[in-house]
C-alpha cells in the first residue's frame, strides 16, 4: 500500500468543515493509500513536516489549506520529487485554481487520475513563490484582510473594493540584466500562475512550466481605467490595456523606492527595499485537475 502524508492547516479559509468528516471522506475515496494526517500549528511547521516526511517516506503529499500552506509544504519538501496535491481549503486558493483544482472532489479525482506536472517556482529573496507575489495594492489589501481577522472570501472582496480606490502609485526600478526601467505603479506583480483565487486573470501569458515568469505593472489612474480594468481581469485581456506593461523574464531585481507592501502567495513579507527574483524551472511536482488548461503548460 502507498503512503500519503495529508497536511491540514486547521485555520485556513472559512473552516466550514468537520475535520474528522474530511479525513474520513479522503480515506474512503482513496483506498489505495495509507494516510498519515498532520495539522499545522503556525510555529516551525516546515521543520515539523520535514520530520514527518522522513518518518513516513510518503509517495504523495496532500496539502489541505490555502497558498501559504502549500508554500510551506513545498519548502519542507525542498528538492524531493514526491508529488503534491492541493486540497483547496483556503480563502482564495489561487494556486489550486491555476492547477485545475477548484473543490475537494477535484483534488480526490486528481489523486485517482494521477496526472503529474513539473511546475516552476520563483525564488524571491530566498522564499519560494509558486503562484503570485506583488507590491502595492493587493499586498496592502491582504495585510488589511489579516488585520481584520476576517478569513474567507467575503472579507477579501470587501477589502479589495476599498483598496482599489485608495491606492497611490509607488516608484519602482526594474532591472533585467543591463536593462533598467523606472516607473510608477499601483501594483507590481511577479507571476508564475495566471489568476488570483477570485478568478481575476492578471497574467495573460502565464505558463507554469516554461522556465519563465512575468513582471506586470498595473497602474489604473481614472475611474474609467478601473472600470475597464475590472472587465479585462475577468475577460482575460488585461495585457491589452494601456496602463498595463508586461515583461517575461528568467530573473530580475526590483527596487522598491517607496517601500510598498509586498506579499508572496498570500503571505505579507513586510516592506523589502529590493527583491531579487529568479526562476527555478520544474521545481515541484503537482497533481493537476481535469480543468487544468493546456495553455498553462508548455507541453503542447
Ligand X SMILES: Nc1ncnc2c1ncn2[C@@H]1O[C@H](COP(=O)(O)OP(=O)(O)OP(=O)(O)O)[C@@H](O)[C@H]1O
199 touches ligand X by CB under 6 A: no
Residue number with the smallest Cβ distance to ligand X: 66
> Least Å distance between CB 289 and ligand X?
16
Q: Does 169 bind ligand X (CB under 6 A)?
A: no
Q: Which of 100, 136, 193, 197 binds ligand X (CB under 6 A)?
A: 197
Closest distance of CB 67 from ligand X, Å: 4
Q: What does the per-residue mask of binding to ligand X show for 7-46, with x meaning CB under 6 A?
A: --xxxxx--------------------------xxx----
Kindly state whether residue 97 participates in binding ligand X, applying the rule CB under 6 A.
Answer: no
First to last CA, the chain: 33
Do residues 97 and 206 touch, judged by C-beta distance below 8 A? no
Under the binding rule (CB under 6 A), the answer on residue 67 touching ligand X is yes
Using CB under 6 A as the binding rule, whether residue 193 contacts ligand X is answered as no
Strands 60-65 and 2-8: parallel
Cell of 298: 508548455
**Looking only at residues 123 through 162 of this chain, which bind ligand X when binding is defined by CB under 6 A?**
151
Per DSSP, what are the bridge partners of residue 185?
Answer: 170
Decide: is 91 part of the binding site for ligand X (CB under 6 A). yes
Report if residue 266 touches ligand X, rule: CB under 6 A.
Answer: yes
Give me the least distance between CB of 287 and ligand X, in Å please: 18
Query: Would you tell me which residues interact with ligand X (CB under 6 A)?
Result: 9-13, 40-42, 65-69, 90-93, 151, 197, 266-267
Amino acid at each position: 500500500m502507498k503512503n500519503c502524508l495529508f497536511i491540514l492547516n486547521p485555520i485556513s479559509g472559512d473552516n466550514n468543515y468537520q475535520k474528522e468528516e474530511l479525513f474520513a471522506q479522503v480515506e474512503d475515496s482513496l483506498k489505495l493509500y495509507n494516510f498519515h494526517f498532520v495539522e499545522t500549528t503556525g510555529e516551525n511547521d516546515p521543520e515539523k513536516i520535514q520530520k514527518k516526511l522522513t518518518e513516513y517516506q510518503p509517495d504523495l503529499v496532500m496539502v489541505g489549506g490555502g497558498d501559504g500552506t502549500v508554500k510551506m509544504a513545498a519548502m519542507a519538501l525542498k528538492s524531493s520529487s514526491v508529488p503534491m496535491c492541493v486540497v483547496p481549503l483556503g480563502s482564495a486558493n489561487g494556486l489550486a485554481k491555476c492547477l485545475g483544482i477548484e473543490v475537494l472532489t477535484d483534488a480526490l479525482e486528481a489523486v485517482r487520475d494521477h496526472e503529474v506536472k513539473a511546475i516552476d517556482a520563483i525564488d524571491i529573496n530566498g522564499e519560494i513563490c509558486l503562484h503570485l507575489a506583488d507590491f502595492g495594492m493587493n499586498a496592502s489589501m491582504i495585510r488589511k484582510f489579516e488585520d481584520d481577522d476576517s478569513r474567507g472570501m467575503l472579507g477579501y472582496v470587501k477589502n479589495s473594493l476599498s483598496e482599489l480606490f485608495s491606492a497611490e502609485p509607488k516608484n519602482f526600478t526594474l532591472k533585467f540584466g543591463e536593462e533598467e526601467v523606472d516607473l510608477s505603479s499601483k501594483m507590481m506583480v511577479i507571476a508564475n500562475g495566471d489568476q488570483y483565487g477570485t478568478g481575476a486573470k492578471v497574467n495573460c501569458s502565464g505558463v507554469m512550466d516554461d522556465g519563465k515568469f512575468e513582471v506586470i505593472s498595473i497602474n489604473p489612474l481614472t475611474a474609467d481605467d478601473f472600470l475597464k480594468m475590472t472587465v479585462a481581469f475577468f475577460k482575460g485581456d488585461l495585457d491589452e490595456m494601456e496602463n498595463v506593461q508586461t515583461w517575461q523574464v528568467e530573473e530580475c531585481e526590483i527596487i522598491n523606492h517607496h517601500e510598498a507592501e509586498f506579499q508572496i502567495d498570500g503571505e505579507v513579507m513586510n516592506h523589502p527595499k529590493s527583491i531579487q527574483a529568479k526562476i527555478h524551472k520544474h521545481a515541484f511536482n503537482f497533481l493537476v485537475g481535469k480543468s487544468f488548461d493546456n495553455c498553462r503548460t508548455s507541453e503542447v
